[in-house]
Amino acid sequence: ETGVTQSPTHLIKTRGQQVTLRCSSQSGHNTVSWYQQALGQGPQFIFQYYREEENGRGNFPPRFSGLQFPNYSSELNVNALELDDSALYLCASSSEGRAMNTEAFFGQGTRLTVV
Amino acid sequence: QQQVKQSPQSLIVQKGGISIINCAYENTAFDYFPWYQQFPGKGPALLIAIRPDVSEKKEGRFTISFNKSAKQFSLHIMDSQPGDSATYFCAASMETSYDKVIFGPGTSLSVIP
C-alpha cells in the first residue's frame, strides 16, 4: 500500500449536484496531484497543490476546484456535475512540487458515477 | 503534439513469454518517461522510468528501451507471469512543467498459464 488514502471509494451523484472528494497524502509528502481516469483511458491531470497553493492545472473547467490543508491533505470539488464527469478520480502525493519527476504515489481512487 | 500514443490496446501472452508494449511521443521537450502498472480497483503504481540520455534501463524482469531519434520507447516484460496481468500506462513529462504530464491510453495485459 502507498499510504495515500482517498474517500469515499464509491459515490453516486445526480447531474447538477456538487461533490467533494478527499485525499490524505503519504507521510512526509507536501504535494498532491489529482487525476481523472475515464473508463478505459489513461489518467488526465486535473491540478496539483504544493504547500497549500495550486501549482499547476490541466485542461479542466473552473468548476473543478481544490484545496490543500496545512497537514497536506487535499480536497477535490466538482460543481454542476455532468454525466461525463463519471470517472475514477485519483490522488497522487509526492515529496516535491512536481507532478511526476519524483515518484508520485497514487491512492486507490474514488469511483464517481453521475446519473 | 501533447499526446503519448500506446500500442497494443490489449495483449495476451503465455506464461514465460515476453510482453512488449510500445509508446511514441511527439513533443521533444518531454524529458522523463515513466511506466505505471495498474491493477483493478487500485491506483497506478510506478514500475520503472527512464530519461532520454539513456537508451535502456533494466530492473529485474522489466526493461525500457528508448529511441530518442524515433521518439519511441517500449516496455519489455521478460518471463511474463500471471501476476503481471494488469493495465500498463506509459507517460511523459517535462521536468520544468508540472502540467505537461501525459499518460498513454493504456495496455491491458493478460498472462495466461
Q: pLDDT tens-digit profile of A57-110?
A: 889 999 999 999 999 999 999 999 999 999 999 999 887 655 445 677 889 999
Q: Is the pLDDT of residue B53 over 70?
A: yes
> What spatial distance separates the first Cα and last Cα of chain A, rounded to whole Å?
31
Question: What pLDDT does B96 receive?
Answer: 63
Chain B positions touching A57 (Cβ under 8 A) are: 99
Comparing B5 with A2, the larger pLDDT belongs to B5
Residues B40 and A12: their CA atoms lie apart, in Å, by 19
Angle formed at CA B100 by CA B59 and CA A53, multiple of 5 degrees? 105
CB burial readout B42-69, b (16+ within 10 A) else e = bbbbbbbbbebeeeebeeeebbbbbeee
Residues B53 and B36: their CA atoms lie apart, in Å, by 20
Give CA B94 to chain center in angstroms: 16
| CB-based contacts of B60, cutoff 8 Å, min separation 6 | none
* Minimal CA separation from A104 to chain B, in Å: 8
Note the pLDDT tens digit of each residue in B8-26.
999 999 999 999 999 999 9
> What spatial distance separates the first Cα and last Cα of chain B, rounded to whole Å?
39
Q: Is the pLDDT of residue B99 over 50?
A: no
* Minimal CA separation from B69 to chain A, in Å: 22
Closest residue by Cα to residue A34 from A5, A74, A7: A74
Closest residue by Cα to residue A100 from B59, B97, B25: B97
Chain B positions touching A91 (Cβ under 8 A) are: 43
Residues A91 and B68: their CA atoms lie apart, in Å, by 31
Per DSSP, the three-state class of B68 is coil
B48 pLDDT band (50/70/90 cuts)? very high
Measured between CA atoms, the residue of chain A closest to residue B93 is: A100
